[in-house]
Structure 1
Amino acid sequence: MAMLFERLERDLRARVAGEVRFDTASRAMYATDASNYRQVPIGVVVPRSVADAVAAVTVCREHDVPLLSRGGGTSLAGQCCNAAVVIDWSKYCDTVGSVNEQDHTVVVEPGIVLDQLNARTREHGLIFGPKPATHTHCTLGGMLGNDSCGSTAQAYGKTSDNVADLEVLTYDGRRFWTSRPPPGLARELSTLTDRHADEIRRRFPDIPRRVSGYGLDALLPENGFDLTRALVGSESTLVTILRARLKLIPEPPGRCLAVIPFPTVFDAADAAAEVGRYQPIALEGIDDRLVDFERVKHLNEDFLRLLPDGGGWLIVRFGAESDEAADAQARRMAAELGLQATFFDDRRQAEEVWAIRESGLGATAWVPMAPDAWPGWEDSAVPPDQLGPYLRDLRDLQHEHGYTASLYGHFGHGCVHTRIPFDLTSKAGLDTYRSFVEQAADLVVSYGGSLSGEHGDGLARGELWPRMFGPDLMAAFAEFKALFDPRGRMSPGRLIPADRLDDHLRLGTDYRPPDPPTVFAYPQDENSFARTALRCVGVGECRREEGGVMCPSYRVTREEKHSTRGRARLLFEMLRGDVVTGGWRSPEVRDALDLCLACKGCKSDCPVEVDMATYKAEFLSHHYRGRLRPMAHYSMGWLPIWARLASLLPGLANRLAASRPLKRLAGIAAERPAPAFAKARFSDSYARRGPAGDGYRGEVVLWPDTFTDNFHPAVAVAAVRVLERAGFTVRLPRAPLCCGLTWISTGQLHTAKRVIQRTVRVLREEIRAGLPVVALEPSCTAVLRADAAELFPHDLDMARLRAQTVTLAELLDRHGVRPPRLDRPVLLQPHCHQHAVLGADADARLLRAAGAELTVLDAGCCGLAGNFGFERGHFALSMACAEYALLPALRQAPDEALILADGFSCRTQIEHAGIGRQALHLAEALKAAWRDALPAAFPERAARRPAPARRAKTPAARELRTQAMEAGGASARPPERVGAGHR
């Protein structure tokens, strides 16, 4: 077998221009999706074009090996994992053709992300109608495979209702558009349908959300013998979809959102069908348990306050030619049905309320103090007018089996989502799981419903098809399968014939991973790194291309290995040990973590709060224990020590730091200018000056972090002036201190712990006196507010320090300090750790109170990220992250705009970009405003970096540029999207 796969890999490499991966890391990452299942693939092909994918299928056919197409890998029923060659369309094959404005269609390749497609078609006033909750990162190929729906299917139907034509390739090499199938195939399909027509009409439920089963009903004469619709939803078990011609619809410009409270979710379900008659765009239902979960997980906390009191809610979205017309529709619905509704005409508030529903999967997965909940019966559907009774029976069935779960979903179409706390690791638990889903299948069929109303069947429900369709249609399905895939090589074991629903589980009765001792405590995961490694549920939010911080390396490379999900999967596989071997010494995990910027964006942006920065630090701690580390760990990891030494002779230190030989020795990127050590440290200057002011608001301790103290002392000077002006007496710690950040980020955790323990000892008097500790550098503040307590979860002084550490903006905001006037445009770039741990709400309130025309940039990570952007081999990726959104936003800012960035990394990256803008710390801006000395514009600081042509000579930069051009070039991409496949 090994020799067979070696020949297969060799032939694929010879004939496929894209990426062919049979390495351990790739096979491990693609072994699972967002489901309960795991099967290690033979290998992975990432085609650069449709022709590449065709070549891959040809080679697989010649070697007689199974094949599976995959999009974003977010399937919940196991469709995206199999012991096959996996074709991942999502990195390169995302071409969108010209919109045909006559018939409102567009031809796309399978890898295009839904939101990116709609961003392009909106230029023509058109969109693709169905919109799953994963719209920011799901691909059209995945939607075609599963016949995805989403909330807007209420108005626009399923994916299958919105596809005009498919270009497909069968395993045996037939390539055609489904609107013009080969004559022989058409005849056989017609004969098959004629024989089983009566049974198809009898057994296929006439409901809006029937996704289960092959689409034989689309081949009935009364349905126009529509082979396109029949193949949508076949989950890569029949054909490989090469291109799709999609139907587009006009997007109503007007919007109104109505929220209707009910005593229970069952009452909400009873009313859904009546509300649906008023033709809303979306009609969703949620229960109080979902809301409680979001409160426990601190999801949408501010938005939850907008919900009217109740135990269940319908969230109804109307669309029309104007907001006023949509509002009139909503109010008419409520008045005629006698329902008390809250109306949200404000677009921002409406989106905030909508986020409560769209966060459903994240809210119900991995809830603190609750059993782990899993998919498995997550999207059944019934006739909408039967939803209330069905939900009551489903809840009773859950309770009979010892389960309690949230019930929510697309109530207007009778589709129910629920993650259930199945026990998937014991024989008794698996027996109960099987008993439940079998009885649930019988229950939904008794209501004239479908096993799946949105996510497809895959491994989770393929075995249950006979309960819904009966023996005659099972024979018809088998015959239908044989017409396209007679050798059974398209995703074998799925649908026809189906493996058992409790086969190939990611957990199962043999799941018993080691639980190694760790440095961080992981209290949120029961002090278990094994549970931490299981935390990722695979929903793929880290693969989104806009908004938030997570995941900057994926956005630039579009590479699964460089997504939070990919890294989390490798950590899981590392503990499992059968594919990724070597434990903490694993080179596969080390290489995947190398391009993790440790930005912590995933800690807040991931729906289950995966914290890859912490996991990276933990891994590096064990990986290099007792071994020589990369030189950058010694040069930048020990920066606080080198900075203290540099303060003795800063001029000499700056000359040495700028020398290329020393950079090479220290593991620093030659392209990256070294930040200049200040002529005098802030703490030394302040020691000579001492406290001043009347301090009528009390004392505060100003934290002199390494970056502010040694590189940007003007920031600390400004902070002292601002604090004293605000009525505080400022004191500094009695001795030089450090939060341990640089040691944490380089995985030198035992040293970091000693540093932090010393800090607490020195500050013990101030901590116990309850003095606020004002920290100016967000990354250091985040250590004191998060990492330190996670390293010392039982230290009460550490907990006090965590509670008393504040940012400058938080302190001023809490005390109601009136800020000076900043009557000008202000662009605020929150540091990644600020976004993830601290938040920037206080900064925004303070700046708006100062009269600023504030724009809080949603530009993601600046790309420098502490030591990351300084390390050799990271420069090109670091700058590509900055070019993704941040630098374009700054270039477009008005000349008179203030650029505020509290993070040393952010300010440094903006300086190194050489775009003629300089960023200030909030303290500098407030100090200047109080002195009426705000400059009109900020000139570019003296940039000490090579010209762009020189930077482009690095292999990483060259690869990024090559990938961008090969994926379509600058003219085919929005200008802010830069990186592998985007320009």
Structure 2
Amino acid sequence: MPVTYLGAAPSRPWDGLQRSLSENVDGEVRFDTGTRAAYSTDASNYRQVPIGVVVPRSADAAEVAVDICRRHGVPVLSRGGGTSLAGECCNVAVVLDWTKYCNKLVSVDTEAGTAVVQPGIALDPLNDQLAETGWMVGPKPSTHVSCTIGGMIGNNSCGSTAQAYGKMVDSVLALEVLTYDGERMWVGPTTDDEFERIVAAGGRRAEIYQGLRRIRDEFGSDIRAGYPDIPRRVSGYNLDSLLPERHFDVARALVGSESTLVTVLHAKISLVRRPAAHALAIIGFDDMTRAADAVPAIVADDPSALEGFDHRLAELEHSQNVAEQALDELPEGRAWLMVQFDGEDADAAADKARSMLTRMGFESPNAKVVTDHHEQKQVWAAREGGLGATAHPPGGPDTHPGWEDAAVSPDRLGDYLRDFRKLLEDFDYHGASLYGHFGQGCVHTRIPFDLKTEPGIRKYRQFVTRAAHLVTDYGGSLSGEHGDGQARGELLPIMFGDRVVAAFDQMKRLFDPGDRMNPGKVTYPAGLDENLRWGADYRPAEPATHFAYPDDDHRFSVAADRCVGVGKCRGHESGVMCPSYRATGEEEHSTRGRARLLFEMLEGDVVADGWRSDAVKDALDLCLACKGCRSDCPVNVDMATYKAEFLSHHYEHRLRPMAHYSMGWLPLFARLSAVAPRAVNTVAHTPGLSTLLRAVGGIDQHRDIPSFAPQRFTRWFARRSTAAPAERPRVLLWPDTFTNNFDTGIARDAVAVLEAAGFAVEVPQKAVCCGLTWISTGQLATAKRIARRTLDVLSPVLRAGVPVVVLEPSCAAVFRSDLPELLYGDEDARRLAQQTRTLGELLAERGEQWNPPTVDEKAIVQPHCHQHAILGMSKESQMLTDAGVDATVLDAGCCGLAGNFGFERGHYDVSVACAEDKLMPAVRAADKGTLVLADGFSCRTQIRSLADDRTPLHSAQVLAAGLRGESPIDSARTIPAPKQRAAAVAGAAAAVLAAGVLARRRSHR
């Protein structure tokens, strides 16, 4: 019987354990509130706050940690990417997080096609390292950007490529494992001779092997009879790997054991050859069940992947702009199969796809073959985005896992889906999308379970019990991919019967007699309706907020609960999200980790000090407020907004960090400096004084203090004598703080471009501001006052429908997203959001009435994060293309400066690490004749700071140079050197502030 663990609310009782771990483990030991909150759940319905977290630097360090936990009698849980859906990655235990340090490719045998890896290496980075060898890992779950090999072994992961390469168990050749009681060994297939040698050597290893042999011999016939012969049986322990015909393979028997038996220290895995080319056949059907009926015949053509999804998934992804272009080009139908074929080249792969379509009688408009790599990638992104797209359907209840990956034989898939749909109807669960790995009979769905009321939870239990009987009646598996964990552990007897479950129990007692390895999962499981993240007593705090959160029922608690744990924010491959995680490798510096902390803050038992929480503040401190998660997160978590909201309450009636004053009030200081910019510049650049000013302003000493422009753009514009013809369409050019006070040449060039395009350019005659710097520092009450004043100034223009062209992407993003949510219901704020244009958007609307200049140049383009997240780059890219610029838009992530973030004291190292991840290597690799374009002030500043020999330009400068018949490269050379430019805006603000203080002191003498 398992040992009962009573430590449900660990705190001070674990001081001795923490001290022993800290003194002896080579790694990071964390028992603080913030860490425990960040690891309280995974991607499942369950929540269990850990005792603490250990981040080992090596397998040896992990061995020491487990030994100390054993001596203190506490449970242990290994965790990889933390994306599990059945609750196996959360527990009241000491969590071993392998991802920060133990993430190496140890060795690769290119002849044999094998690799030895540490458990914390994520799949995509591993495949990137293997790319030049021509090998790759076979299984590819949809979470491939963040899922680790250790986690894939723990869950016996599969993914779409399992159609060709099998489950993770089929890739594992050997494992180095550690038992809770300290036995460390390599395991794998075992011959009779090797078995005898192990037994003869005696000890704990011999005891384990003899016990496994007894389980095999006692339950062999039950295993053969009780294990369904289907491609996607993931439920239960892999006892079938112990059978003689499977070579008594102890390693594969441990795959899928979900950290309940051993800790995996290293893995030797087989690799597969990387296909040279793919072609994708997409077939439309009028119903999902009919698509399923076609699967067996298509499988006969040996595709490398065969996926299905229904119209509901397509509709939800359309509503959330996920791979929208690819979805627009789907064949006719209300359900689709994606059939991938590999080939030696694109033509060979396409021939296979077309041959299948011809044989099956599928033709246009219900079928198509996609050979374009980009379009294929978009279709796959739509399919892989299923979990995120279906989690929070607009206008409907949230959906949840719990019965999300059952599997049957592909031959019976159509009939199973008909009965499964009937079951959903019987329980009145409507709106659930169906998708999955249909070529292997695995069906994914998220169902609108009510997990917040007692009747709803009872109904959930009744449904999954009925569903378990249904899939078992079809000879299927409770889980075809995600494992059992807590969600399906108690249902295993329905599928396997008492004899096989008894064998599972013996397996558990053999490896972990005290039930200290991830207790309550798979064997001796906690109830599937226990430890729920919500539950019938769920009642989070519901604070009043500044932002409206219109997509979250106008409730901050709903926004804080938006994250579903997919873990895309822990990826390193593409997109903007999440730069701080990429720099630190810390869970609490990922979007997901921060969301967990906010959830726990409102829950109130772990993070008990609400808005005043230092744990939440510390986690948010390294959030760059880049808004990358607003677009890249599958469920559109908006951590920049949550951070601003938190800071506004955290510092209410309290002294703020000095950077909040020096940078948050920058627009005001910039207006003051305009009175005497030369005097301010002199003060700011005096040796010694500049160091003091940075210290006073809370600015990192590595950042240069800027120089204000001799004349503000608005003053230059007001003194112009040029009058546009009355018949020209009006446009208001927004004088953002950065362009108006520092990079004023950009605004002047924009005027030239707009007038050349036939517009009558106007500029506000009164001081205006979007409020960005107050928003980013969480001074939201002030931001709202400033925004309302700005709307009053702009109201005649807005009500006349005049477009507002914004050159700074972060300011445009404020108008498009922040302001309507900060001033929710304000009609002028809505008008401004609708009338805001980037330069590219406005010129695109001008159409053939605008003849762009010819600029025969190559360029690399760094999109501003807010441009990526809110505005998009398509119009700016087209604008450059129309002008003849051969532009490559970088997928380099955040520049790392991110407004005030990179200037603040203590952020410099992370800021530079973000830039050096991809952006700066790309800038340095570009030849000197290639333009570097960045419309964002922060991006240009960071590039200037880290590459003295490059002068980045705004796209308006490129077009204006073309209008003048000049080379943009030559124009760039005329721009002052970096240290004389605005490389650290807040330093100048501090100078202005200090000058003002000195002036007041003199006046009182």
TM-score by length of 2: 0.93
Q: 2:97 aligns with which of 88, 112, 124?
A: 88
Q: 1:196 aligns with which of 192, 201, 219?
A: 219
**Partner residue, 1:55:** 64
The offset of 1:887, in angstroms, is 0.5
Q: Secondary structure at the match of 2:339?
A: strand
Q: How far, CA to CA, are the matches of 1:657 and 1:767 in structure 2?
A: 39
Q: 2:654 aligns with which of 603, 623, 627?
A: 627
Q: How far, CA to CA, are the matches of 2:726 and 2:87 in structure 1?
A: 63
**Partner residue, 2:540:** 513
Q: How far, CA to CA, are the matches of 2:800 and 2:570 in structure 1?
A: 45
**Partner residue, 1:210:** 233
The offset of 1:944, in angstroms, is 3.3
**Partner residue, 1:325:** 348
**Partner residue, 1:289:** 312
**Paired amino acid for 2:568:** E
**Partner residue, 1:563:** 590
**Partner residue, 1:395:** 421
**Partner residue, 2:781:** 750
Q: 1:681 aligns with which of 712, 717, 726?
A: 712
Q: How far, CA to CA, are the matches of 1:308 and 1:655 in structure 2?
A: 66
Measured against aligned partners, the alpha-carbon deviations of 1:6-42 in whole angstroms (never above 9, x if no partner) come to 1111110111010000111111111100100000111
**Partner residue, 2:1002:** none
Q: How far, CA to CA, are the matches of 2:660 and 2:680 in structure 1?
A: 19
Measured against aligned partners, the alpha-carbon deviations of 1:755-784 in whole angstroms (never above 9, x if no partner) come to 000111111111000000111111011111
Q: Secondary structure at the match of 1:313?
A: strand
Q: Which moved more, 1:235-244 or 1:93-102?
A: 93-102
Any conservation in 1 of the 2:706–2:979 contact (CA below 8 Å)?
no
Q: How far, CA to CA, are the matches of 2:682 and 2:281 in structure 1?
A: 64
Measured against aligned partners, the alpha-carbon deviations of 1:307-326 in whole angstroms (never above 9, x if no partner) come to 01101100011111111111
Q: 1:765 aligns with which of 782, 793, 796?
A: 796
The offset of 1:690, in angstroms, is 4.8
The offset of 1:293, in angstroms, is 0.7
Measured against aligned partners, the alpha-carbon deviations of 1:327-361 in whole angstroms (never above 9, x if no partner) come to 11111111111122200111111111222111111
The offset of 1:894, in angstroms, is 2.1
**Partner residue, 2:945:** 912
**Paired amino acid for 1:804:** Q
The offset of 1:78, in angstroms, is 0.4
Measured against aligned partners, the alpha-carbon deviations of 1:182-209 in whole angstroms (never above 9, x if no partner) come to 3432222112111111111111000000
**Partner residue, 1:706:** 737
Q: Secondary structure at the match of 1:98?
A: strand
- Are 1:370 and 2:396 counterparts? yes
**Partner residue, 2:855:** 822
Q: How far, CA to CA, are the matches of 1:885 and 1:265 in structure 2?
A: 42
Q: How far, CA to CA, are the matches of 2:428 and 2:954 in structure 1?
A: 55
**Paired amino acid for 2:135:** L
**Partner residue, 1:952:** none
**Partner residue, 2:676:** 649
Q: How far, CA to CA, are the matches of 2:95 and 2:836 in structure 1?
A: 49
- Are 1:587 and 2:618 counterparts? no
The offset of 1:379, in angstroms, is 0.2
Q: How far, CA to CA, are the matches of 1:880 and 1:761 in structure 2?
A: 42
1:270-285 matches, within 5 Å, as 270-285=293-308
Q: How far, CA to CA, are the matches of 2:725 and 2:632 in structure 1?
A: 43
The offset of 1:691, in angstroms, is 4.8
1:400-419 matches, within 5 Å, as 400-404=426-430, 405-419=432-446
**Paired amino acid for 2:779:** Q
Measured against aligned partners, the alpha-carbon deviations of 1:266-316 in whole angstroms (never above 9, x if no partner) come to 111111121111111110000000011111222222221110110110001
Any conservation in 1 of the 2:569–2:590 contact (CA below 8 Å)?
yes
Measured against aligned partners, the alpha-carbon deviations of 1:575-603 in whole angstroms (never above 9, x if no partner) come to 00000011100000111111111001100
**Partner residue, 1:954:** none
Q: How far, CA to CA, are the matches of 2:556 and 2:631 in structure 1?
A: 19
- Are 1:540 and 2:573 counterparts? no
Any conservation in 1 of the 2:34–2:597 contact (CA below 8 Å)?
yes
Any conservation in 1 of the 2:948–2:978 contact (CA below 8 Å)?
no
Q: 1:499 aligns with which of 521, 526, 535?
A: 526
Q: Which moved more, 1:215-224 or 1:882-891?
A: 215-224
Q: Secondary structure at the match of 2:260?
A: coil
Q: Secondary structure at the match of 1:689?
A: coil
- Are 1:306 and 2:337 counterparts? no
Any conservation in 2 of the 1:695–1:724 contact (CA below 8 Å)?
no
**Partner residue, 2:38:** 29
- Are 1:147 and 2:173 counterparts? no
Q: How far, CA to CA, are the matches of 1:440 and 1:367 in structure 2?
A: 23
Distance change >3 Å, CA 276–CA 924, structure 1 → 2: same
- Are 1:425 and 2:452 counterparts? yes
Q: Which moved more, 1:651-660 or 1:760-769?
A: 651-660
Q: How far, CA to CA, are the matches of 1:598 and 1:298 in structure 2?
A: 22
- Are 1:224 and 2:247 counterparts? yes
Identity among equivalent positions (%) equals 57
Q: 2:362 aligns with which of 335, 339, 347?
A: 339
Any conservation in 1 of the 2:962–2:968 contact (CA below 8 Å)?
no
Q: 5+ unaligned residues in a row in structure 2: which ranges?
A: 1-6, 191-197, 199-204, 982-1005
Q: Secondary structure at the match of 1:944?
A: helix
Compute the RMSD of aligned alpha carbons: 1.3
Q: Secondary structure at the match of 2:60?
A: helix
**Partner residue, 1:741:** 772
1:607-622 matches, within 5 Å, as 607-622=634-649
1:833-848 matches, within 5 Å, as 833-848=866-881
Q: How far, CA to CA, are the matches of 1:677 and 1:694 in structure 2?
A: 33
The offset of 1:695, in angstroms, is 6.3
Q: How far, CA to CA, are the matches of 2:801 and 2:112 in structure 1?
A: 69
TM-score by length of 1: 0.95
Q: 2:378 aligns with which of 338, 352, 369?
A: 352
The offset of 1:693, in angstroms, is 3.6
- Are 1:942 and 2:977 counterparts? yes
Q: How far, CA to CA, are the matches of 1:688 and 1:4 in structure 2?
A: 72
Q: How far, CA to CA, are the matches of 1:647 and 1:690 in structure 2?
A: 22
Measured against aligned partners, the alpha-carbon deviations of 1:904-930 in whole angstroms (never above 9, x if no partner) come to 111111111134111111111100011
Measured against aligned partners, the alpha-carbon deviations of 1:872-901 in whole angstroms (never above 9, x if no partner) come to 111111111111111100111121111111
- Are 1:870 and 2:879 counterparts? no
**Partner residue, 1:117:** 126
Q: 1:573 aligns with which of 584, 587, 600?
A: 600
Q: How far, CA to CA, are the matches of 2:881 and 2:370 in structure 1?
A: 24
Any conservation in 2 of the 1:211–1:233 contact (CA below 8 Å)?
yes
Q: How far, CA to CA, are the matches of 1:4 and 1:781 in structure 2?
A: 52
Q: Secondary structure at the match of 1:293?
A: helix
- Are 1:795 and 2:830 counterparts? no
Q: How far, CA to CA, are the matches of 1:669 and 1:421 in structure 2?
A: 49
Q: How far, CA to CA, are the matches of 1:132 and 1:695 in structure 2?
A: 60
Any conservation in 2 of the 1:27–1:41 contact (CA below 8 Å)?
yes
Any conservation in 1 of the 2:774–2:783 contact (CA below 8 Å)?
yes
Any conservation in 2 of the 1:25–1:588 contact (CA below 8 Å)?
yes
Measured against aligned partners, the alpha-carbon deviations of 1:192-235 in whole angstroms (never above 9, x if no partner) come to 11111111111100000000000111111122211111100000
**Paired amino acid for 1:380:** A
Q: How far, CA to CA, are the matches of 1:945 and 1:739 in structure 2?
A: 26
Measured against aligned partners, the alpha-carbon deviations of 1:537-567 in whole angstroms (never above 9, x if no partner) come to 1111100102110110000101111111111
Q: How far, CA to CA, are the matches of 2:403 and 2:684 in structure 1?
A: 59
**Partner residue, 1:384:** 410
Distance change >3 Å, CA 463–CA 657, structure 1 → 2: farther
Q: 5+ unaligned residues in a row in structure 1: which ranges?
A: 947-983
Distance change >3 Å, CA 723–CA 57, structure 1 → 2: same
Any conservation in 2 of the 1:163–1:229 contact (CA below 8 Å)?
yes
Measured against aligned partners, the alpha-carbon deviations of 1:849-885 in whole angstroms (never above 9, x if no partner) come to 1222110011111111111111111111111111111
Q: How far, CA to CA, are the matches of 2:721 and 2:873 in structure 1?
A: 30
**Partner residue, 1:102:** 111
Q: How far, CA to CA, are the matches of 1:915 and 1:174 in structure 2?
A: 56
Any conservation in 2 of the 1:656–1:662 contact (CA below 8 Å)?
no
